[in-house]
Amino acid sequence: MRMPMCEACGDSGNRDMAVEHVVVRSNDRVCEGVGLMVLEAPATASKVRPGQFVHLRIASDREFMLRRPFSVHRAHGGTLEILYQVLGRGTRAMSLTQREDRMDLIGPLGHGWDIPDGLTHALLVAGGLGAAPLGMLAEELARRGVAATVVMGAPTGERLVARDLFERVARRVEACTDDGSAGEKGFVTVATHRLLDEGGFDMVYACGPEVMAKAVAGQAFEAGVACQVSLERLMACGIGVCLSCVVATVNGQKRACVDGPVFDAREVSWDVSEIPPRH
Ligand SMILES: Cc1cc2nc3c(=O)[nH]c(=O)nc-3n(C[C@H](O)[C@H](O)[C@H](O)COP(=O)(O)OP(=O)(O)OC[C@H]3O[C@@H](n4cnc5c(N)ncnc54)[C@H](O)[C@@H]3O)c2cc1C
Ligand code: FES
75 within 8 A of 32, measured Cβ to Cβ: no
- The CA-CA-CA angle for residues 133, 138, 141, to 5°, reads 130
Domain-embedded: residue 273 = no
Alpha carbons 264 and 253: distance in angstroms, whole number: 14
Domain-embedded: residue 179 = yes
Query: Given this model, what pLDDT does residue 7 score?
Result: 40
Domain-embedded: residue 5 = no
Asked if residue 53 and residue 184 are part of one domain, the reply reads no
Query: Given this model, what pLDDT does residue 19 score?
Result: 94
Asked if residue 72 and residue 35 are part of one domain, the reply reads yes
138 within 8 A of 165, measured Cβ to Cβ: yes
Domain-embedded: residue 90 = yes
Asked if residue 140 and residue 252 are part of one domain, the reply reads yes
Of 24, 197, 4, 27, which Cα lies nearest the Cα of 102?
A: 24
Domain-embedded: residue 131 = yes
The pTM assigned to this predicted structure is 0.92
Query: Given this model, what pLDDT does residue 74 score?
Result: 98
Residue that terminates a domain, selected from 62, 80, 109: 109
H or E element at residue 272? none
Q: Is 243 in the pocket of ligand 2 (CB under 6 A)?
A: yes
Instruction: Please list the pLDDT of the chain residue by residue as tens digits (279 residues).
Output: 545 444 444 454 577 889 999 999 999 999 999 999 999 999 999 999 999 999 999 987 777 788 999 999 999 999 999 999 999 999 999 999 999 999 999 999 999 999 999 999 999 999 999 999 999 999 999 999 999 999 999 999 999 999 999 999 999 999 999 999 999 999 999 999 999 999 999 999 999 999 999 999 999 999 999 999 999 999 999 999 999 999 999 999 999 999 999 999 999 999 765 444 444
Asked if residue 133 and residue 48 are part of one domain, the reply reads no
The ligand placed nearest to the CA atom of residue 63 is 1
CATH number reported for the structural domain that contains residue 204 in this entry:
3.40.50.80
Range of the domain at 149: 121-264
Residue type, 144: R
Q: For the chain, what is the domain count?
A: 2
> Would you mind telling me the total number of residues written for the chain in this entry?
279
Asked if residue 188 and residue 103 are part of one domain, the reply reads no
Measured from the Cβ of residue 177, the count of other Cβ atoms closer than 10 Å reads 22
CA of 88 to the centre of ligand 1 (A): 8
CA of 277 to the centre of ligand 1 (A): 9
CA of 257 to the centre of ligand 2 (A): 6
